[in-house]
Each structure stands twice: as structure tokens, then as C-alpha cells.
Structure 1
Amino acid sequence: MVHIFLLLTTLYLSVPESKAQSRDNIVITGNIDIYSNYIWRGMDMGHRPLIQPGLAASYKDFSLGYAGYYKMAGDGENEANFFLSQ
């Protein structure tokens, strides 16, 4: 296991950083993931399907975004998180 970690670390550090995108453009990314079961930190949060959408907008060194999860069936709480990072 230690050998795999060292190999992956070496490969990661040897790849040069890509500067393909201009830093002056606004970049918008999004995703939608569908899961049959939600496990958070090893705890089973219910045997129900859920959707995890995410959306982020980046400009220079700042990112503003949203991530959450919504149960497709059954009772319980949904989650919505907003973030701003540099």
C-alpha cells in the first residue's frame, strides 16, 4: 500500500500544471449524480435513491457554487450547501 501511495505521489508531482484556460474568463461547471443509497462517513443514511446536483462558477482565483442532495423517495431532509472559495 505504501508503494502505491509513493508511486501515485511521484506521478502527481511530476506532471506539469496546465495553463490551458485563460484566467480572465468565467468558467461554469456542473454535475448531476444519481445514487441508489447514501452513505456519509460510514453511516447508512437510508436505502433510498437520491440526486446530488452541483454547480460552480469560477473567475480568476474565486469560485462560487452550490452542492446538495435530494431524496427521490421517502421522508427525510434534503441538503443544500453554498460555497465561496479562493
Structure 2
Amino acid sequence: ELPSRNEALRLYTRGSAWFSFEENLRGALKTGQLADLAVLDRDYLGVPVDQIARTTSLLTMVGGRIVYADGPFAALEENPR
């Protein structure tokens, strides 16, 4: 049985932080943790299953730094391609 989308998201975020013993550094968006996040072009939890693979990032941050920005966020990219 496949995990639900919520379960998959939790496994990928909090689960990977737990597995690498980094729960105090990453895995959730809260004060004191690294800001590793992505803003997607569609709602991962709401789109039809066949659209999940076509989902792309509009903004990606690693450790609080913008590493990729596109579309409405393109002007924010720190090191443009």
C-alpha cells in the first residue's frame, strides 16, 4: 500500500531529519531550524495524481538561502543562472 500524500510529505521532511539525527536542525518550518523549503507551482496535496510528476519548483531555499528562483520569484535569486 502506498502512503498518502500527507504521509509521504511527512516522511520526506520530518522523517528524513529523524533518520539523520537532525530533528533539531531541519524537518519543520520553525524558529531555529534551517529554512530548507520549496515553493511549488501547484498544490501537491490537491492536484490529480497524474500531475504530481509535472510539479516544478518556483523557489528553492537551502539553509535559508535562495538557491533557485523562477517565475514570480525570479528576481529573488541570489546567483542567477
Check whether TM > 0.5: no
**TM-score, reference length from structure 1:** 0.24
Greater percentage in strand: 1
Greater percentage in helix: 2
**TM-score, reference length from structure 2:** 0.25
